[in-house]
Structures are given as C-alpha cells and as structure tokens.
Amino acid sequence: MSHQMAVSKEQIITAAIRHLNGSPAASMGQIAQAAGISRATLHRHFATREDLIIALGWRAHAAWERAQAEAGLEEALGATDRATLEQALHRLITQHIEVAEEHGFALTEHLMEVDDGLVRRAHELEEREVVLIEACQRAGVLRSDMSARWISNVFFGLLVTVRESLRRGDVARRDVPRLLLETFLRGIHED
C-alpha cells in the first residue's frame, strides 16, 4: 500500500496520458493499472473518467499554447512578409507534431467537448492559428481560394493522421515532419 501512496498526481497524469495515447478507450481500471495504482487511489484523485480527461485536456491545451509560443506565433502575427510568415507556419506545424505525440488522445476524445472552459480555450488557441493562416493567405504562402477555417480543420485532420500513423508504426518518427509539411503545403496530387 505504501507504494501506491508514493505515486503523485503528476505521475498519475503522465501515466494516464501515455496509456490513453495507446488505448484511447481505456477504462479507469486500465488507466489505474498502467499507473501502478489501485482504482480506488485513482478515484481519490479523479472522481470520474470525465474529471481525469478534463485535467488531461488542460494539460494538452498548455502544450498547444507552448507549441505556439515556441513557434513564435505571437511575433509572426504582426508580420506581413512572406518569409517570416512561412517560417512561423513551418515552425508551428513542426511543433504540433510533438503535441500530437504527447497528447494525441485529446485530438479525438469526446470528453474534451464537455467542459465549457476547455472548449473556450481550444477556440482561443485555434483562433490564433486561423489569424496566422489568414496572414499566410494574404502573403501568398497558402491558397486564398479556401477559407482559413477549412485550412485549420484540414491541418487538425492531418494531426490525427500523424497520431494514428505513429501509434500503428506506419511511418518512422523522423519522417513525420517532412510528410506533414509536404502533405499540408503541397497536398497529395501528383503534378
């Protein structure tokens, strides 16, 4: 029992994220087992699966925000020149790969939509990227004959593809940045 008491909430969250990335439909019992704790201990920290997912959702959103910061999104939003915007877009795309790896379960977890605060935060973070997409469209980096929101949604879909491809072992991790950039920026049509 003392071993179970030694497991911190942070360790539980880390284990839960890792397990859910591999088994998105995992039960609380399976998550507890993966964390090396009893189900009762897990329930002392998170009363329900929804409570756990919401906590993990906030963690995923923090990683999303960090990705934007590390990509220099804020600075790029004031730019109008093509090179600066293109570099920021490439950095953002690359940063998102890490978020998809670390928090991939959150991309399609329906419980991410039940907490109003999480939904609002996701909308705020997405809006910042839509502004970058619009700036990239004006600068000729991205096509202007599609809505920025459509382009954002396509990118989201590609992140789900990244997650699934890595989870299944369909692609090597080292190839993902090139594949994602080329698919997003050039599509899959043979010229």
Q: What is the pLDDT of residues 157-173, one digit of tens each?
A: 999 999 999 989 999 99
Q: Which residue has the higher pLDDT, 177 or 190?
A: 177
Q: Which residues contact 97 (CB under 8 A, 6 or more apart)?
A: 159, 162, 176, 177, 180
Q: What is the average pLDDT across 138-146?
A: 94
The predicted structure's pLDDT at residue 188: 76
**Nearest alpha-carbon partner for 130 in 77, 78, 180, 83:** 77
pLDDT higher than threshold 60 for residue 47? yes
How far is it, in rounded angstroms, from Cα 6 to Cα 100? 29
Query: Hey, what domains does the chain have and what are their CATH numbers?
Result: 1-47 (no CATH), 54-186 (1.10.357)
pLDDT of 191 reads: 63
Average pLDDT estimate for 118-137: 96
Q: What is the pTM of this model?
A: 0.89
Q: What is the per-residue pLDDT for 148? A: 96
Q: Work out the widest C-alpha separation in the chain, in whole angstroms.
A: 63
Q: Which residues of 50-83 are buried (b: 16+ CB within 10 A; e: fewer)?
A: eebbbbbbebbbebbbebbeebbbeebeebeeee
* pLDDT at residue 2 tops 50: no
pLDDT above 90 (res 76): yes
What pLDDT shows up at residue 190?
74
- For 25-34, b where at least 16 C-beta lie within 10 A, e where not — what string? ebebeebbbb
In sequence order, what are the residues at sequence separation of 6 or more whose Cβ sits closer than 8 angstroms to the Cβ of residue 177? Answer: 93, 94, 97
